[in-house]
Chains A and B, each alone.
Chain A
Amino acid sequence: MEVGGAIREAKKGTAELVVLAFLEDQSLHGYELTQLIDERSGGALTFNFASLYATLYKLEERKWIQGRWVEKAGQRRRRYYTITAEGRRVLETQRHEWRQFFALIRDLAGVKYA
């Protein structure tokens, strides 16, 4: 695999996990979500804005999150996304699987995560 390819592939698989994780504690709109991801990852993880919304719509279609238009005082109307009960279950399962996966990689390849 070419250099960087592993990370790109991993990013594709982790996008859903990341979005679900960010929505776990609060409702967010799309722009807030990109800002938070950018901030917390220190710029290492960025979303093309079209693929961010593609991911959001896909999750919504699977009923893992739910979006609705909210108009807050003094702000423009925005679509906020909230995680559903089903989404929480999926997030837990995915977290568990990733943990197992990293444990395996650590044992096999000596890679440690921070």
Chain B
Amino acid sequence: MRDRQLRHWRALVRDRAKAEWRELSSEVVDELACHLADLHLGALEHGANGADADRIANDALRSASFLVLSRRPRARRSPVGYVHDIRIACRQLLATPIVTLVAVVSLALGIGANTAMFSIVNSLLLRTLPVAHPEQLVIVQSAGQATSWTNPIWEEIRAQSDRFAGAMAWSATRFDLASGGEAHFVPGLWASGGFFDVLGTPIVLGRGLTRDDDRRGGGRDGPVAMISHGLWQRQFGGGADTIGRRITLNRVAYTIVGVTSPGFFGPEVGGTFDVIVPFGTEPLVAGRASQLDARSSWWLNIMLRLKPDQTPAAAEAALNVMRPAIREATMPAGVGARFAAQYLADTEPFTLAPAATGRSPLRIRYQRPLLTILVVVGLVLIVACANIANLQLARATARRHEIGLRVALGASRWQIARLVLIESALLALIGAAAGQLFARWGSALIVSQISTDAAPVFLDLSLDWRVLAFTTGITVVTVLLFGTVPALHATRADPTGALAEHGRSGSGPRGRVTGALVITQVALSLVLVVAAGLFARTFTRLAHLPLGFQTDGVLIVSASAPRNQFEASQLPALQERILAAVRAVPGAMHAALSSKTPAGTGNWTDRAEVPDMAPMSEPDRRVAMNSLSADWFTTYGTPILGGRDFDERDTAAGRRVAIVNEAFVRRFTHGANPIGRTVSIGASYLAAPPVEFEIVGLVGDAVYRSPRDPIPPTVYIPNAQRDGPMNTAYIGVRTTGDPMRLARSIEAAIAAVDRNVVLTFRSLEDQVGANLVQERLVATLAGFFGALALLLAGLGLYGVTSYAVTRRQAEIGIRMALGAAPGGVVRLVLARVAVLVGIGVLVGAGISLWASTFVATLLYGLEPRDPATLAGCAALLATVGALAGWLPAYRASRIDPAEVLRNA
């Protein structure tokens, strides 16, 4: 009986608590139910009837507020209190959906951009190679930090690899999987036998490369190859019968012996591979041009694995003991006596650099741009936080009545702060979750932007503990950044004041805090806009540099003759026939064949000498070289300023002739007419004497490799007079309209000449654009985030001014009633905006001046403290500030004083 009564009162207490959105601990419920049951019983004992006793107990229950009881010490230990706070926070956020949406979107962009940039930085700079004990790996460098070596040097080191736990070498390349016609290139690696044993990487199927596979011409199993997990899935459907199947690489048949694990992308970070083949089979692909015995071809990288107890210093010493013998055995061929003596006496020791994070040319190129963008997105997040802090402050102020009531009912300062902080944390969590989606998309987009056809970039962007820790950390920091101020502000709520005011406006500390937040936003936005301005101007300058040739309407066809299928002596005639066939294609206005293309990859330099020239250092004598057919300058649009173009007279047997550019004239003949003079070309260290050419033409300066580099003195010679044939020739074709249209008919025309020639097609515009990938990326990202910061700062300023206008409505109304003109009201409101923006711009300009020197190396043709950029950006920010302030100011000037005074 007694128990049933108690259950009845327990249920009523719980219902009452629920109606108040309170959670009570079961102990509290028990105690209150007990009390009500006693009250009920007491009433009956004092002579009340059942209905009256019920009413007395029910009245007691109804009149009670459970707010204070819900924070019973014992109840607080359970998560129930937090669940309750989260529920309230959700209701608060849903009550103002637009504000919540703005906050979540800014946070998603801010946190997402930071995560995206960090995951790239992580995979490029921080992540270790997915191999066993990566910390034991070291890469062999020269003292000058060059990491390329010749195969003879590698073979010497390999012979004594027992001094270490292991040694391996590799060289990145690409292989053509097509059996004819247009090439189908995939990234590949030449690798030493035992490559996978040294790295300690698992193999999914089949076996790794053995020392036997690495024998010249192939081992017992003939030429063998390993393929990546990706190629296995794409090309072979992941079938177990792939082992033993054939794959054609550069027209040579290889047997597949193994499949690598899915997470392994090779020893180079930023690159990947689909095929790995042993060095020993290189002569099969390269024919006579094999580099295995070439002592001047520096094309492979060497990595050592240290023994568990071996220090890098001990390994370095062991390697340097071998150095004299290595030098002796690897003397480059055909060098003069002086160079030979220098080579042997060379005291430049080997050094070993830690290689746990692999080797990465991409890392060297992108380290600074990426870290710069990481700072940029960090600043954007701070601007976003300042904005949200202001929104939360406004929300907290609007809730002063509610918060005051909570304080009056006994809520502690910490509970109030907790409520506001939970709201902030909830916002940050939703923002972080949305940010993850944005980050995955954004990082993949950025990687695709730095990847070009000629240099595809692969980065492992999968989540790891670092990215997770970063995202968690940044979310917590975000909550602290934008949640602390509103939480502290809320705890200062004065219960009596708030209750008496009934939510009417307040002022004081909040005004100062919002002012400081707006100044922070304006200052940081200016820094970001200045950075964006500097990078955009750098990119525009580079993109609009006079190149010395016309990029539009030119198609570049690379035509490679597989070296195992053509004799070197056949190549010049084959290339002549190809050029003739291309010239006959309808739509080809001009066509020319050369060994290099403007702003292309690859470099060919030599040493030049002109009779009677002023004494000059060796580096100054280096000239850029190219060999061409007739009509090359017309095809690319480089003007011939004097003399003549090459023509049919310039054969192998004819007089040796050359064309030079203006930079050559400035350096070698001091501006005097070069035509008719001779230029001797040939490296001083070679035993053979230099070759003399008569200069027959002068052409305008044209970019040789990168638009960033100064235009080098350049010497052009006829194809027929070069030393040795070209394996890959580039045919430039000028047409009207989109040059890629011609690709199909050119492919058909060349196939008619010889089906075995391997072709690639690219427009000159693409090729030039690929040089500016880094600048374009930095300018685009900085521009995007600069604009975002500007937008956030504008919104922040607008919000703060609107709030101030609402707060001062009564004051403005009185002023207008007393005769203030609308213009005066606008001035009154704008005065505060002007002060905030002015201080922000000054602070921002100071930070920009200080910080800009850090990005100096990323700029081109600009001073880091470029006054025009700074002034322009400050003006832009002032304009945005004025606009953001003017809208509420205009609204204030439209206030009807009578209406305001009535409501005051």
Is A98 an interface residue when CB atoms closer than 8 A count as contact?
no
Q: How many residues of B contact A (CB 8 A)?
A: 25
Q: Which of B29-59 contact A (CB under 8 A)?
A: 30-32, 34-39, 42
Task: Evaluate contact between A51 and B68: CB separation under 8 angstroms.
Answer: yes
| Contact status A53-B6, CB under 8 Å | no
Q: A49 near B34 (CB under 8 angstroms)? A: no
Determine whether the beta carbon of A50 is less than 8 Å from that of B68: yes
A50 touches B6 (CB 8 A): no
Q: Are B31 and A53 in contact (CB under 8 A)?
A: yes
Complex Cα–Cα for A51 and B32 (A): 11
Q: How many A-B residue pairs have CB under 8 A?
A: 57
Chain B interface: which of A54-62, A89-97, A100-108?
Answer: A54-62
B73 and A61 contact, CB distance less than 8 A: yes
A57 / chain B contacts, CB cutoff of 8 Å: 68-69, 72-73
Residue B2 lies at the interface, judged by CB distance under 8 Å to chain A? yes
| Residues of A contacting B69 in the complex (Cβ-Cβ under 8 angstroms) | 50, 53-54, 57
Cβ contacts under 8 Å, B36 to chain A? 49
Residue B410 at the chain A interface, CB threshold 8 Å: yes
A50 close to B65 (CB less than 8 A): yes
B636 CB–A CB distance under 8 Å: no
Complex alpha-carbon distance, A48 and B210, angstroms: 88
Which residues from chain A contact B72 at a C-beta distance below 8 Å? 57
A11 at the binding interface (Cβ < 8 Å):
no
CA distance A14 to B68 in the complex (A): 18
Nearest CB of B to A5, in Å: 12
Q: Is the CB of A76 within 8 A of B34?
A: yes
CB of A88 within 8 A of chain B? no
- When distances are taken between beta carbons in the complex, the residues of chain A under 8 Å from B60 are 48-49
Using A35-B42, A57-B73, A78-B34 as known contacts, say yes or no to A48 and B63 having CB atoms under 8 A apart: yes
Q: Which of B2, B39, B65 is in CB contact (< 8 Å) with A31?
A: B39
Q: Cβ of A58: which chain B residues have Cβ within 8 Å of it? A: 410
Chain B residues near A30: list those with CB within 8 A: 31, 34-35
The closest CB in chain A to the CB of B61 belongs to A49
B27 to chain A, nearest CB (A): 8
Mostly, the B contact residues are: helix
Complex: A79 Cα to B28 Cα, angstroms:
10
**Are B32 and A53 within 8 A (Cβ)?**
yes
Across-interface contacts of A53 in B (CB, < 8 A): 28, 31-32, 35, 69
In-complex Cβ contact of B6 among A35, A61, A76, A79 (8 A): A76
A54 to chain B: closest residue by CB: B68
Query: What's the least CB distance linking A15 to chain B, in Å?
Result: 12
A80 to chain B, nearest CB (A): 11
The distance in angstroms between the C-alpha atoms of A54 and B68, with both chains bound, is 6
CB distance from B677 to the nearest CB of A (A): 100
Determine if B66 and A76 form an interchain contact, defined as CB atoms under 8 angstroms apart: no
A76 touches B2 (CB 8 A): yes
Q: Could you mark each residue 57-96 of chain A with 1 if its beta carbon is under 8 Å from any beta carbon of chain B, else 0?
A: 1101100000000000000111100000000000000000
| Complex Cα–Cα for A69 and B31 (A) | 9
A76 pairs with B37, CB closer than 8 A: yes
Of A35, A53, A79, most buried by chain B (CB within 10 Å of CB) is A53
- The distance in angstroms between the C-alpha atoms of A58 and B65, with both chains bound, is 16
Q: A70 → chain B, closest Cβ, in Å?
A: 12
Question: Within 8 Å of chain A (Cβ to Cβ): is B146?
Answer: no
Q: Are B64 and A49 in contact (CB under 8 A)?
A: yes
Question: Given the complex of chains A and B, what is the CA–CA distance between A54 and B64 in angstroms?
Answer: 11
Interface residues of A in 1-34 (CB under 8 A from B): 29-31, 34
Interface residues of B (CB under 8 A from A): 2, 6, 27-28, 30-32, 34-39, 42, 60-61, 63-66, 68-69, 72-73, 410
